[in-house]
């Protein structure tokens, strides 16, 4: 997994021309162009055509671009791929992935088209079966990332929404561990109350502390909070630099550990420090290019 930032991953309806245009100017690290939940059944065909034309003609800069297609078990999924292939999507987001076989089926369809030879696969982790099979899904061909679908997951589990998300913690951590075991990006689920900035910040902080790379978002008003919370803080970067300097000095003396602020610093801490600095540099480059 590289340092490319995924602090904010914003859903944009594939059927809304104005929203597709506005997305070019938004401070989001990644965009999910949605053909599934955000598009009514009678608009599916029009939405996929509009999105294919837009992706082929529009520069979205350095933002990561994912297209959430309809499931392959629906009447729309394969048509989504047929129409979008010419636009050479960067990644396809598969909803309701339950097993590695679901990913392999999508990979086979992508393999069959020269235009999608480089297209990666992300999966929505939003069913109990999918969570239980997270490790095999993460290891499937073309896989690049997970997006947690916490609304659907909570519905299927029959659990209640709580501010601490305790009923979902096992599922969140299971998917996160599977993603990390296979070098995938892991993005936390949406926060539904898009006007509740304080609640969003609290949930972003929880997701960050668990280890997620960023937050999926349903409204542009949520971008600033997610970008702030999931970026390395100035004091974190300062500590990282001091840890690296102290450890390198210790290494020059033939020692394997250093001490910073009264705490032992070992090689594992240096890996974390360097990752934080690389992430900050990647964010700076992204913001400079946007």
Each residue's pLDDT tens digit, 158-190 = 999 999 999 999 999 999 999 999 999 999 999
Which residue has tokens 């059944």?
41
Residue 290: per-residue pLDDT: 72
Report yes or no: 32 and 147 within 8 Å, Cβ to Cβ: yes
Regarding pTM above 0.85, the answer is yes
pLDDT (tens digit per residue) in 73-122: 999 999 999 999 999 999 999 999 999 999 999 999 999 999 999 999 99
Residue pLDDT, tens place only, 231-243: 999 999 999 999 9
Provide the pLDDT confidence category of residue 270 given band limits of 50, 70 and 90. Answer: very high
DSSP code of residue 121: E
269 vs 258: CA distance, rounded Å: 10
Q: What is the tens place of the pLDDT at every residue in 109-147?
A: 999 999 999 999 999 999 999 999 999 999 999 999 999
For residue 289, pLDDT beyond 70: yes
pLDDT band at 47 (very low <50, low <70, confident <90, very high): very high
Statement: residue 16 has pLDDT above 90: yes
pLDDT above 70 for 154:
yes
What is the spatial distance between Cα 131 and Cα 221, in angstroms, rounded to a whole number?
A: 30
Euclidean distance between CA atoms 254 and 246, whole angstroms: 13
Mean pLDDT, rounded, for 205-221: 98
Listed in sequence order, the residues at least 6 apart from 57 whose beta carbon sits closer than 8 Å to its beta carbon are none
How far apart CA 190 and CA 250 sit, in angstroms, is 44
Burial class of residue 40 in the structure, from the number of CB atoms within 10 Å of its CB (0-12 exposed, 13-18 middle, 19+ buried) = exposed
Nearest to 137 by CA among 101, 170, 177, 187: 101
In this prediction, residue 267 has a pLDDT band, given cuts at 50, 70 and 90, of very high
Count of positions (residues) in the chain: 290
Between CA 214 and CA 102 the distance in angstroms is: 25
> CA of 197: how far to CAs of 47, 163, 234, in Å?
31, 13, 22
Mean pLDDT to the nearest integer, 235-255: 94
- Percent of the chain at pLDDT above 90? 96
Q: Are 122 and 93 in contact (CB under 8 A)?
A: yes
CB 85 within 8 A of CB 56: no
For the chain, percent of residues with pLDDT exceeding 70:
99
Q: What's the whole-number mean pLDDT along residues 26-50?
A: 97
Q: Where are the alpha helices (DSSP H) in 87-188?
A: 100-111, 128-132, 134-138, 150-157, 169-181
What would the two tokens of residue 143 be?
Answer: 């896989």
Which of 148, 120, 119 is CA-nearest to residue 134?
148
- Orientation of helix 267-289 relative to helix 234-252, angle to 10°: 130
Q: Above 80 in pLDDT, residue 2?
A: no
What is the pLDDT at residue 1? 53
Q: CA 245, CA 238: separation in Å to the nearest integer?
A: 11
The whole-angstrom separation of Cα 114 and Cα 106 is 14
Q: Return mean pLDDT, the chain.
A: 96
Distance in angstroms (rounded) separating the CA atoms of residues 260 and 247: 9
Sign of CA dihedral 9, 35, 116, 26: negative
Q: Which two tokens stand for residue 254?
A: 């033939």
**pLDDT band at residue 256, thresholds of 50, 70 and 90?**
confident
């Amino acid at each position: 997994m590289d340092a490319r930032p995924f602090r904010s991953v914003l859903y944009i309806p594939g059927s809304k021309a104005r929203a597709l245009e506005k997305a070019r100017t938004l401070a989001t690290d990644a965009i999910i162009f949605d053909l599934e939940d955000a598009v009514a059944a009678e608009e599916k065909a029009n939405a996929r055509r509009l999105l294919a034309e837009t992706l082929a003609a529009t520069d979205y800069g350095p933002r990561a671009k994912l297209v959430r297609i309809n499931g392959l078990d629906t009447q729309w999924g394969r048509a989504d791929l047929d129409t979008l292939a010419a636009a050479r999507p960067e990644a396809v987001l598969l909803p309701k992935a339950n097993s590695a076989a679901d990913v392999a089926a999508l990979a086979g369809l992508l393999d069959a088209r020269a235009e999608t030879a480089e297209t990666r696969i992300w999966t929505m982790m939003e069913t109990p079966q999918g969570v239980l099979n997270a490790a095999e899904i993460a290891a499937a061909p073309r896989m690049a990332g997970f997006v947690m679908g916490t609304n659907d997951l909570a519905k299927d589990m029959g659990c209640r929404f709580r501010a601490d998300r305790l009923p979902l913690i096992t599922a969140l951590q299971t998917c996160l561990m599977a993603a990390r075991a296979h070098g995938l990006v892991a993005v936390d689920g949406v926060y539904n109350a898009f006007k509740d900035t304080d609640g969003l910040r609290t949930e972003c902080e929880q997701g960050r502390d668990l280890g997620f790379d960023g937050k999926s978002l349903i409204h542009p008003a949520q971008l600033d909070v997610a970008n702030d919370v999931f970026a390395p803080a100035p004091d974190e970067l300062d500590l990282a630099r001091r840890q690296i300097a102290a450890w390198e000095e210790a290494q020059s003396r033939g020692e394997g550990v250093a001490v910073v602020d009264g705490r032992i610093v070992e090689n594992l801490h240096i890996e974390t420090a360097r990752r934080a600095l690389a992430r900050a540099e990647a964010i700076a480059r992204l913001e400079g290019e946007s």
